[in-house]
Chain A
Amino acid sequence: MPETKILIGYASCGIAAGASDVERALRSTMDEHGIDTIIRRVGCVGMCHNEPIVELIDEKGHYTYGDLEAKDAVKIVTEHLLGGTPYEDKLIISPEKQYDYFTKQKKIVLRNSGVIDPEDIEDYIASGGYEGLKKALEVGSDDVVEEIKKSKLRGRGGAGFPTGLKWQFARDAKADSKYVICNADEGDPGAFMDRSVLEGDPHAVLEGMIICAFAVGADKGYIYCRAEYPLAIRRLEIGIRQAEEKGFLGDNILGSEHSFRIIIKEGAGAFVCGEETALMHSIEGGRGMPRPRPPFPAQKGLFGKPTNINNVETLANIPYILREGAEKYTECGTERSGGTKVFALAGKVKRGGLVEVPIGTPLKDIIYGIGDGIEGDREFKAVQLGGPSGGCLPAEYLDTPVDYETLTKAGAIMGSGGMIVMDEMDCMVNVAHYFLDFTQKESCGKCTFCRVGTKRMLEILERFTHGNGTLDDITTLETLASHIKAYSLCGLGQTAPNPVLTTLRYFQDEYLAHIDEGRCPAKVCRDLITFTITDTCVGCGLCMYECSVDAISGEKRSKHVIDQDECISCGACGEVCPVSAVEVL
């Protein structure tokens, strides 16, 4: 019978939503009533849409409360802890009340996230942590590589290269010293899978790295983590210290011949440093700029030595595979790809957050099943997969199983796991522009096609959104896109045109509306829309006060008018209008 304890979501998402206020309220109320129930800070449980979240575990089971404020915390203590009756107002999950947000998921990578205290190694060990390492040391490095191969685990950073094969290459390379790198330079806009894993379960990543180092014969490891993740870095530092104290890291790990040390390298926030050769150059002290491959890192990597680079999520899978065995791992997944994939579900879905599903799950199950459909029950238009390197897929792809091959065939990529859902209010030309603007600014500037080519593409998209495009521009855009894709030096450039190419492929009508009719069907592109006030106007004057350029005039209680010459189409008037009298044309 477990003792009663309280878990509070204390990852960046929870903290940002006000977890510390809730925690303070919990503690002070408990002090008042003289209760000393354990409160543990845990990582993200994945329901980012419900943060701050508190989970109360007692002999009856698990009770999850969400969307909490300080006053709710008081109620949880007084009603539930003291009174024994769950506080129904904010109760999301209880033994009597299941939540399909979770039941439709399969948690391997996120198994401990939101469950254990990430700053306490004992919590990790208690949940089976470092069992995988022990098993690895027991069976030997050859069998470890074989087990990973059998697991059909593929790189979760985006490209999907078979992890076992990658390890084999690094293992086969002959050298006096080798490196293992954990790529934690998560840079896609809207993606936070790796951060959540690092914040919620840092030991899983560390254990994965240690097993990997043992398998390939590396004695030194780097975690390349962006400096924008201070909490992740702090928890990793704590984790490394604790692992060293326990003998999981350092010389002669658990009495074996194997020695391994991990250094954290903080990245300065360049997106391209997620590319492995740029990342290595950055660790070496140089500018983050990709170099041609071959030589591949497994042959000649960091400081010229054979190097194995894996993504955070890939490594977090490793302890599970070793502990539970490849057979169990491949119970979910597809023929060619085992296990699960974590997605950062965002955009116009009702329930956004961190979700983990078996590879091969249809898009529809994620968006409608877990995400509960589109906000305001509007029409689904597209889903952007793989961030700025990925593509936008339309409704006819909703039945597509999410795996590496099918997504690539459709023009998108699995990517690192960004999944942004869009509805009819999103302009696809603008979406393409948004992502290309990101990659253009993040180009390292080295190769011609990426540096100049993406800029010229972006300028064409700008012409479209301003209503100055021509049909010839589409041809130029397509030619440039195909050249950039084919001839750029690294993955950043090679995938940069994807958002443009997929939107051109699936939403050409929208492009043509911008060009031929000077019209933005989603009413997003500012130069192509006008705001007017309809007869519904009650003359409250709110819009007039809100307008930053004084474009609105009108007497109290009579219809207001927008001066089109002054209006900058910011839309602020529409947002404040109490009677929805602002119309966009």
Chain B
Amino acid sequence: MTDSTEIKINGISCTCKPDDTVLDACRDNGFFIPTLCEIEEIDQPFGGCRVCLVEITGPRGTIITTSCDTPVSPEMEIVTESPDIFEGRKTAIELLLSEHTGDCVAPCSRECPTSLDVQGYLAHIASGRPREAVKLIKQKTPLAISLGRACFAPCEEECRRNLVEDPIAIRQEKQYAAEVDIRDPWTPDIPEETGKSVGVVGGGPAGLTAAYFLRLKGHSVTIYDMMPELGGMMRYGIPNYRLPKDLLDLEINWIIGLGIDVKTETKLGTDLSLKELRQQHDAVFVTSGAWESWMVPIEGKDLPRVYGGIDFLVDVTLGKEVSLGEKVLVVGCGNTAMDVSRTARRLGKDVTIVYRRTSDEAPASIEEREEAEEEGVKFMYLTNPEKICGCDVNGVSKVECARMELGEPDASGRPRPVKIEGEPLSLEADSVILAIGQSPDLETLQNEGLETSKYTMKCDIKFMTNLEGVFTAGDALIGPSSIVECTGQAREAAYAIDAYVNGDLNSYETPEDYKLPFGYAHTDIKSEEDFADWERIPRAMMPKRSPEDRVKDFEVIELGFDNITVEEEAERCLECGCLDIFQCKLKEYASVYGARQNTYQGFKQDFDIDESHPHMIRDPGKCILCGSCVRTSEEFGEGVVQFAQRGFVTVVEPAFSEPLGTVESELIGTLADACPTGALEELPVDKPGPFELEELVATHCAGCGIGCPVSVMGFDGTPIQLVADDDPLYGHLCDRGKFHTLETFAGLDLESICDYLKDGPVDIYMSGDTTLEELKLLEDIVGITGGNIYSPHAPSCISTVGLEELLNTKKVYIEEGAYDESPLIKLFVQRALDSGAEKVSSAQELGNGVAVLCSQTESDMERRIVTQRYANAVGLYGLSVKGAPGRKVLLYGLDEVDIDSCSILKINTGNDWLIKKGTFKNIFGKVVELNPVSEEENILKKIMGKM
């Protein structure tokens, strides 16, 4: 047989190994093939998911078939991408999605127009990391402060906690974090300047957001704004009592501080033209907002003291005198109407809102309506103004209204208000403010050559207008909206602009719906019944100024949460989003193939989530029956999970449907690693974001004498998870290593230790994870104090061969108990068995094979691996306890030891290798390194320094 086989992949000649599968061959030659059930280290293909389809022309003609279970043959021709292959893969994924239950992301995030990772930042806040929370928010928007104060929080409406009692106070949680951060704001790195420049027309939420993201791409940005200060509607539309200007200034200054040029009091069409802007910049972003008040065609609308809502708010913010008289009638019941009414109340006026529908249809948030009511604003529902009466000299005197009733639903879905004839109503008023809507200044935009619809700007799906290089988003595009809608849209527009100025607009891929970056929600709407057993925890109430007090001025109403309340409130989060969101292969492939979860909608099984295991969670609703856990467990000789049932109701579960918590296994964590979805997941130690983690340090596990390579994952110095290093020999962690949690060591009183050591001799007992460096220091100390040095964990016999010999042995003998000391030995033994080794039941039959023995066994066998419970037992070989201890004993790192002695001093190191630096010798005779997450000077060094 030859060493290599020639095949063709997508028309390209490639070589592969003769015993490769088509999948191996394609992957090794750099061609992507999706698969959900293949496990690279297990040779026998499973062939369950059927996603790895390719087209093969070979001995059987041309067929589309799975690549994982098809061996290569000479001159085979493989095609990895075609419309038929795409359809087949997509169908397989859609069928899997149709039986998959769970939220990829929580409903709060799904609902957020800016797609903020709400669950993630709440988790950070709950764990006392508000700045990390803001870091997460700043990946999606620079406006954490403004949103924390003035977002209308659609997330809270979707919050599942609504089905328990009340939603999490998401906006106010963000407020706390943002205002902690703004004192010393976290700032992302700005890359090198690209030399490209973008002009942004309008410095409101959309303009600021686009400027921020374009700056983060290294482009130079200039904001042009018609007003004296930046902020747009956040400054001029939202009154100070909701969004204090000092906080807004901090946020805007921080954004501008990233290196953004600003030209205020510069209005498009008046002070500069689009033509000029397009000459000066590589791209222009028009986000000039919606500043024109809608004036209803009502008789008397041109009388003095009749104002547009937004005009009124702008004038008040600018400090202009607005003549209102005593009685103010506000028309409309949206958020602007609330701002207008409450502003007028703060100016000491008697304010009445008239609205032609009822409170149920009012667009303003309940919270705002309640606050307005508390502040003395009167509401008259089902009342429609028909004529404003008055004269040109004194202005408004009264408003004639009609009484209304609700009729059939109109185009917006709300019931149409119908006039009740013959019941006129006359309301006294000195001024009228029409707060019924706003629109962009279309005339100016049209004069600049931009195409518009009847009410707003127009653009294509990549935010480009009819003019090449001119983009738009925000209120100018969608009409009067909200900060959170504008900022999310502007971020996407900024990415499109970035692609454009880089010369390839096509590289910007419009997310199918940019509000749904993850896209998949497999949970049907849950009912309150599903949460009947949940503990009721009331929502934290935001402390506010009293209504009487707050109408006296424009100062802020919300006084803010304290750090304890904010953490408790965030702790209420139900963590709806999937733990596996950043790793899930099903989600990844579903996105790649545009697979829909409802193409093949049908019956789904209703499972309970198994939370019986202390470190693992099993959610059978997310299981795709790829069998990866079953095979991994078999591979390790454990077989703790199995297929059960038949047909559509087939499940993977522990034997006899027992809960996972009752399963006896040393390697159950490896099943979570094997699971391609969130069906088997490791529980994080903290409240789960889940977060995207980074490697903090690469070290070795000191859970036993093997010393497996391990990556400590976390963020900002905080270890969150231990992950097996991608090592071809190791590549897995046993539960002792994987579920190791950080316990910092007890306080050590240096003075008293030194005092104790001064009056020698002192015998030193050290634990089995004492590093070689610590051993050296302890020897030095004994050299000074006199006495002996021991370790009760020093073995009487150690390995004579290494890992290679074990893996290549022809025969292997395993002593009972060896797996308990070093669980991962199971894996190496299994690999030896897989490559043809024979397991013998007694050492006598072993011949030239390798024996795997326990540390307590004395053996003169020539070829042996001796397992060790303690990391550096081998390094301490020969230091076993001999004779009775002396008068004084120092215990180093030991939990407990029975020594009859008159005096014992214990230095408890907390036994934690995550914060240790040093080396130890493993059972294969290799010296392995420990690297700490954060370095601290070793206590022994300090002692030596003192002695």
Contacts and interface: CB of A to CB of B under 8 A. Distances in A.
Contacts of A446: 46-48, 625, 627, 643, 650
Interface in A55-72: none
A287 B643 contact: yes
A297 B46 CA distance: 16
B88 A483 contact: yes
A272 B645 CA distance: 13
A2 to B, nearest CB: 51
B48 A486 contact: no
A488 B44 CA distance: 18
A292 interface: yes
B728 interface: no
B647 A447 contact: no
A456 B66 contact: no
Interface string A481-494: 00100111100000
B647 A443 contact: yes
Contacts of B534: none
A443 B650 contact: yes
A451 B650 CA distance: 8
B647 A451 contact: yes
A459 B603 contact: yes
Contact of B69 (A292, A480, A486): A292
A252 to B, nearest CB: 30
Interface in A13-64: none
Contacts, number: 105
B98 interface: yes
Contacts of A408: none
A289 interface: yes
B526 interface: no
B92 interface: yes
Given A292-B45, A447-B47, A480-B600, A440 B88 contact: no
Contact of A487 (B88, B99, B643): B88
B91 interface: yes
B602 A455 contact: yes
A444 interface: yes
A456 B599 CA distance: 10
Given A294-B71, A447-B48, A452-B600, A487 B92 contact: yes
Interface string A445-474: 111110111111001000000000000000
A489 B650 contact: no
Contacts of B49: 447-448
A479 interface: yes
A443 B646 contact: yes
B64 interface: yes
B64 A441 contact: no
Interface residues of A, number: 32
B648 interface: yes
B603 A292 contact: no
A276 to B, nearest CB: 15
B648 A487 contact: no
A445 B95 contact: no
Contacts of B648: 440, 443, 445, 451-452, 454-455
Contacts of B99: 452
A479 B53 CA distance: 16
Interface residues of B, number: 37
A453 B90 CA distance: 13
Nearest to A289: B643
Given A445-B645, A448-B92, A449-B95, A459 B50 contact: no
Given A448-B95, A451-B625, A452-B95, A489 B600 contact: no
A445 B623 CA distance: 12
A440 B600 CA distance: 16
A291 interface: yes
A489 B50 contact: yes
Given A445-B625, A446-B627, A489 B91 contact: no
Q: Which of A441, A447, A459 has the most CB of B within 10 A?
A: A447
B96 interface: yes
A223 interface: no
B88 A441 contact: no
Nearest to B599: A476
A442 interface: yes
Nearest to B630: A287
B311 to A, nearest CB: 53
B938 interface: no
Interface string B644-660: 01111110000000000
Contact of A452 (B47, B71, B98, B645): B98
Contact of B64 (A270, A486, A488): A486
Contacts of A483: 87-88, 91-92
A442 B647 contact: yes
A291 B381 CA distance: 70
What is the interface of chain B mostly: helix, strand, loop, or mixed?
A: loop
B642 interface: yes
A452 B92 CA distance: 9
A456 B95 contact: yes
Contacts of A452: 95-96, 98-99, 600, 648
A449 B47 CA distance: 11
A292 B66 contact: yes
B93 to A, nearest CB: 9
B36 to A, nearest CB: 9
Q: Which of B50, B53, B602 has the most CB of A within 10 A?
A: B50
Contacts of A289: 643
B745 to A, nearest CB: 48
A441 B646 contact: yes
Contacts of B600: 452-453, 456, 476, 480
Contacts of A476: 600
Contact of B647 (A445, A459, A487): A445
A489 B96 contact: no
Contacts of A287: 642-643
Contacts of A454: 648
A455 B646 CA distance: 12
Contacts of B642: 287
A299 to B, nearest CB: 11
Contacts of B624: 448
A488 B645 contact: no
Interface in B58-76: 64-66, 68-69, 71
Nearest to B65: A487
Contact of B50 (A442, A443, A447, A479): A447
B91 A479 contact: yes
A454 B649 CA distance: 12
Contacts of B98: 452, 456
B91 A480 contact: yes
Interface string B766-810: 000000000000000000000000000000000000000000000
Contacts of B646: 270, 272, 441-445
A459 B95 CA distance: 13
Contacts of A489: 47-48, 50, 66
Given A459-B603, A480-B600, A291 B47 contact: yes
B625 A449 contact: no
Contacts of B47: 291-292, 446-447, 489
A441 B645 CA distance: 10
Interface in A120-158: none
B82 to A, nearest CB: 14
Among B47, B600, B648, which residue has the most Cβ atoms of chain A within 10 A? B648
Contacts of B44: 291
Interface of A: 270, 272, 287, 289, 291-292, 294, 440-449, 451-456, 459, 476, 479-480, 483, 486-489
15 contacts: A440-B647, A443-B646, A443-B648, A446-B650, A447-B47, A448-B624, A451-B647, A452-B99, A452-B648, A456-B600, A456-B602, A483-B87, A487-B50, A487-B64, A487-B88
Given A448-B92, A453-B95, 7 more contacts: A291-B44, A444-B650, A445-B645, A445-B647, A448-B48, A448-B51, A483-B92
**Closest 9 pairs (CB-CB, A-B):** A445-B650, A292-B69, A292-B47, A452-B95, A455-B648, A441-B647, A456-B600, A459-B602, A446-B48
